[in-house]
Amino acid sequence: RDLIASFSQKFPENPDLLTLLAEAEDQCGDLRSAETAAKKALDIKPTEQRIHMLLGRIVEKNGNLDRAAYYYSQAVSLDGMQIDGYLKLSQVYIKQREFQKARRVLEQGIANIPGNVELYLTCAALFKEAKDYRGAELMLRKASQIEPRNVSIHRQLGAILALNMVHQSQEVGSQV
């Protein structure tokens, strides 16, 4: 950390050194210094997706979810093929209890990266949490098409099918 800091002082316009310094400060738990270094790097290289992700992670650790959502959203805008951006942004929205926003982010990720199972599984978990078992089932079925030999997906799908049956029987019972 000290070595990186001394190099970044000698070369204050080097965004890669500043990003390394921010990562080192983050790992040492000095979030204020990490954020300062990352912001300097971002000022020099504002279109660097990696720096936006780093700043999102740092401010999220500080508990500033609105700013974390901003940085993650910027990262997704800069590179719509990076899965982590969608996952991190949706997690922030879930922490904020903004489930519709989280769902839209995940659906955008699925549209941009349709072969990624993790996005489908995260979306399925979100649907399940909202008691939308049909939506969860649909996401798990798509995930199982991508990875047909993944036993974990099939177990989750079985559990969702059972929950859906119980939920439907309760709906029918309440209508009678």
Q: Name the percent of the chain lying above pLDDT 70.
A: 89
| Residue 6 confidence class, pLDDT cut points 50, 70, 90 | low
Residues 51 and 41 sit within 8 Å (Cβ to Cβ)? yes
Among 41, 52, 46, CA closest to 15: 41
- Asked if residue 40 has pLDDT above 80, the reply is yes
| Torsion angles phi and psi, residue 123, rounded to 5 | -65, -40
Mean pLDDT of all residues in the chain? 90
What is residue 12's predicted lDDT score, i.e. its pLDDT?
Answer: 62
Instruction: Give the pLDDT confidence of 89-117 residue by residue, as tens digits.
Output: 999 999 999 999 999 999 999 999 999 99
What is residue 11's predicted lDDT score, i.e. its pLDDT?
Answer: 54
What is residue 115's predicted lDDT score, i.e. its pLDDT?
Answer: 93
Contacts 24+ apart (CB under 8 A), 94-99: 94/126, 95/65, 96/65, 96/66, 96/69, 99/126, 99/129, 99/130
Q: Which residue has the higher pLDDT, 78 or 4?
A: 78
Instruction: Give the pLDDT confidence of 143-162 residue by residue, as tens digits.
Output: 999 999 999 999 999 999 99
What is residue 8's predicted lDDT score, i.e. its pLDDT?
Answer: 58
Q: CA 138 to CA 120: how far, in whole Å?
A: 9
- What's the average model confidence in pLDDT over 37-56? 96
Which whole-number Å values give the CA distances from 37 to 32, 64, 65, 88, 118, in the listed order? 9, 17, 20, 21, 31
What is residue 62's predicted lDDT score, i.e. its pLDDT?
Answer: 94
Model confidence, pTM: 0.85
- Asked if residue 82 has pLDDT above 80, the reply is yes
Instruction: Give the pLDDT confidence of 129-139 residue by residue, as tens digits.
Output: 888 999 999 99
